[in-house]
Amino acid sequence: MSKITFLGAGSTVFVKNVLGDSMLVPSLQGFELALFDINPERLKESESMLRNIQASNGSKCRIVAYSDRKEALRGAKYVVNAIQVGGYDPCTITDFEVPKKYGLRQTIADTLGIGGIFRNLRTIPVMMDFARDIREVCPDAWFLNYTNPMAVLTNVMNTHGGVKTVGLCHSVQVCVDHLFDGLGMEKEGVRSRIAGINHMAWLLEVTKDGVDLYPEIKRRAAEKQKEKHHDMVRYELMLKFGYYVTESSEHNAEYHPYFIKKNYPELIERFNIPLDEYPRRCIDQIKRWGEMRDSIVNNASLSHERSHEYASYIFDAMETNVPFKIGGNVMNTGLITNLPKEACVEVPCLVDASGVTPTYVGDLPPQLAALNRTNINTQLLTIEAAVTGKKEHIYHAALLDPHTSAELSMDDIVSLCDDLIEAHGDWLPKFR
């Protein structure tokens, strides 16, 4: 029996989408859906939820919850990763509150910035444990990573974990829809091409019937910037650098040195930047889960319709050899020629029985490559810190971070890193 293993299966709503989708796919009938989570209560809830769906749709998949991670992975053909190390409390709180003492504010803190660096440092050791298990009990498995920070973790699993890994992010999937809906433009029949790095990939081409739509997009965006809206940072980046970026404005506000500045507080108001957004989302998500839990976990007639999540389409393409196109995070094997070969890039990929085949992009426009490299610098130094165990590379990663370095002195950045290392305690490995 073939097996799909879900690590972090306590993410019940996401499990519903990924494995609920898989239960509806003909080529995946008979697969074992293996669930693993370190929280036994949440694991049981996800198992109950899937059994409810199975009772409603008659899927022939086999649902098994495991208390032993290695056994959950044993013989897996596909592994889905959706873990969050340290959760909202204590680690996310630490990522936000300690930097505030230095006047350093953040919005999401899960990808880059000082919060992204430390989220990586506590997650990479767990990912390396996964990789060791995978090499031992399912060495040919494809690892689908949904966990942030996407670029670093996907990079680490490929280069240091020895695991066939593709990173999957929603931002590419929804980029054109969000842009066109926000500007009131018709998106039917639109063709696009997107490439760059995760959370900072670029809408390089957007056409309809062979006509370049960027002039009209920029005209409408410039007009819309005269009033408050929720995508002001991305519009501003597009109007200054020429291209629309895939990830949201609240994310991109902290990937650049231009928007969150304690000496220019008016920028927060001008660009409608939601500081401390991620903690608010966490609190809201915890509340909503309490309200919706019974309707999912204890609903014997629970139904499910296939979502737009890439995972089940990837499984199906590999099983049937019918190609499917995704935006995937992969290593830069000459795909984007003016970004470092050591980087993880986000490019169009074709999926079929041979696996994930990324497509060649060539040079990005030079200003876009330059912006990407500012983020790649911090990503690569974060990996260096995790792999070598050297504290100095944590400092280097933070000193090179665009937002952190725009706000703090070198001495304060080093001091902040030391404070975060102490505050995280045993959530981090020991650095020398």
170 is catalytic: yes
Choose, from 170, 199, 229, 424, the residue flagged as catalytic.
170
Q: How far is CA 396 from the centre of its chain?
A: 23
C-alpha 118/C-alpha 109 separation (Å) is 9
Asked if 143 and 301 count as a contact pair (C-beta separation under 8 A), the reply is: no
Active site residues: 170
